[in-house]
Amino acid sequence: MNILILGSGGREHAFAWKIKQSTQCNQLFIAPGNGGTQSCGTNVDLSVTDFASIREFSINENVEMIIVGPELPLVEGIVDFFENDEQTKGIKIVGPDKNGAQLEGSKAFAKEFMAEFSIPTASYKEFTLQNIDDGRKYIETHEGPYVLKADGLAAGKGVLIIEEKEEAIESLEKMLHGQFGEASSTVVIEEFLKGIEFSVFVLTDGEGYKILPVAKDYKRIGEGDTGLNTGGMGAISPVPFVDKTMMNKVEERIVKPTIEGIKKRGMNYKGFVFIGLINVHNEPYVIEYNCRMGDPETEVVIPRVKNDLISLFDSLFNGTIDETKIDFKQETASTIMLVSGGYPESYEKLKTITGIDELKDVIVFHAGTKIENEQLLTNGGRVIALTAFGENHQEAVNLSRSAAEKIQFERKYYRTDIGFDL
Ligand code: AMP
Ligand code: GLY
């Protein structure tokens, strides 16, 4: 099968690395890819939201399956675009249609979906400029901290957690007046939940499903979970505090009703549901849905999957996902993300990266890298994810950490405490 992966991060390199091991993969393309994906297949210079060019490329190269890494093409309707075209409707796209992608694309949609299907989540209200006074009143009559969420996609920056009433009201006003553009023309204010977060990934064809290994992501830039939010600074899988009892609760109360909801709403959903969860006194609540895999969670989840990834994806299109047995490595996987100094704010690019060739015992997943004149250079905030296995999370993280020390580039930064809080 000829396969196209859309995206350019560590997540897409992890998919490419795994797909390259599949006997079913004929040609592998990654658009636009990065300095690492080009060792697994062919990088193609296409934007992930340029559907017309992706269509033309797919027809010309006989692409039979497209794996969509990031959310944007899904929220913009790539599945619908391909479905509605005689020449491309047969192409298998791993990802939901526009309607399904709303689970990530609109917080208000997701909250309303959870309410309809009785899925445990923080209580909430939504506000627009029309009822801004109700929003002010809501804050005045509730205790903080206040969780303010821009309804639409805001590059991971649209959630504000604020202690003080006054400041929360000011932020609500700013958001509704366009702080995040169109994305914050509706704002969801929800109850603050205190607990520890983890992520569950479900592969579904809209009826049947399989749950993939659980993971924990470290979102903040600083040690001890301090400082600004990032795309993710590291991850581990499995997660010690998520035991069988917790996973049973997650499956019964959250996964099953979510899949039921997807079916009842008639979503064309053949792909990943990434459920961001919080454990509050041993009860799971949904923080958010994403319609794709996580990054860097993919860099620990996919290496633990023993199955052939193409066969697994194919089972979404031939109705066999329920019968498919998924096998996981029992060891713990960890990943540490090396980032450019300054990230998640401004940072420099095009720094020479050295030391990769000497690494043993880790899988190197490139994120923001590129190769120019045979030289590996930084090309983004998150640069490289270093994945390792161990008998437990400490053993795995120690391997990721010693690899992190050995790679060099100017203003390299990484968190040394990934996995050590557990
Ligand atoms: P989201 O984009 O919805 O995942 O929110 C980003 C981050 O904000 C989450 O990873 C949580 O750390 C935090 N967060 C979101 N909603 C809540 C909530 N209701 N209570 C506490 N923290 C939250
Ligand atoms: N690591 C979190 C995300 O991919 O959304």
pLDDT of residue 200: 98
> Which residue out of 221, 274, 337 has the highest number of ligand 2 atoms within 8 Å of its CB and is therefore the one to mutate?
274
The ligand placed nearest to the CA atom of residue 161 is 1
> Which residue out of 125, 143, 159, 162 has the highest number of ligand 1 atoms within 8 Å of its CB and is therefore the one to mutate?
159
Domain ranges, residue 146: 124-190
| 179, 31: one domain | no
Whole-number Å distance, alpha carbon 373 to ligand 2 midpoint, is 32
Q: Residue 116 domain-assigned?
A: no
Summarised one tens digit per residue, pLDDT across range 382-404 is: 999 999 999 999 999 999 999 99
Q: Residue 113 domain-assigned?
A: no
User: How far apart, in whole angstroms, are the C-alpha atoms of residue 350 and residue 328?
Assistant: 37
Which among 138, 171, 190 is the end of a domain? 190
Summarised one tens digit per residue, pLDDT across range 322-353 is: 999 999 999 999 999 999 999 999 999 999 99
Give the model's confidence band at 157: pLDDT under 50 very low, under 70 low, under 90 confident, else very high.
confident
Summarised one tens digit per residue, pLDDT across range 283-296 is: 999 999 999 999 99
Whole-structure pTM value = 0.96
Q: Residue 114 domain-assigned?
A: no
State the SS3 of 17-76. Answer: HHHHCCCCCCCEEEEECCCCHHHCCEECCCCCCCHHHHHHHHHHCCCCEEEECCCHHHHC
| 252, 349: one domain | yes
| 34, 166: one domain | no
Q: Is the CB of 234 under 6 A from ligand 2?
A: no
Summarised one tens digit per residue, pLDDT across range 242-259 is: 999 999 999 999 999 999
Counting the structural domains of the chain, the total is 3
> Which residue out of 123, 200, 287, 288 has the highest number of ligand 1 atoms within 8 Å of its CB and is therefore the one to mutate?
287
Q: Residue 118 domain-assigned?
A: no
Whole-number Å distance, alpha carbon 217 to ligand 2 midpoint, is 8
Q: Is the CB of 190 under 6 A from ligand 2?
A: no
Q: Which two tokens stand for residue 52?
A: 């017309």
Q: With 0-12 CB in 10 A as exposed, 13-18 as middle and 19+ as buried, what is 157? A: middle
| 255, 400: one domain | yes
| CATH code of the domain covering residue 28 | 3.40.50.20
| 318, 334: one domain | yes
Q: What is residue 307's three-state secondary structure?
A: coil
| 7, 129: one domain | no
| 44, 87: one domain | yes
Q: Residue 143 domain-assigned?
A: yes
- Closest atom of ligand 1 relative to the 219 alpha carbon: 10
Q: What is residue 191's three-state secondary structure?
A: coil
Give Cα separations from 378 to 57, 152, 340 (angstroms).
Answer: 28, 30, 8
Partners of residue 335 on adjacent β-strands = 235, 387
Q: What is residue 223's three-state secondary structure?
A: coil
Shortest-distance Cα residue to atom 6 of ligand 1 = 159
| 289, 379: one domain | yes
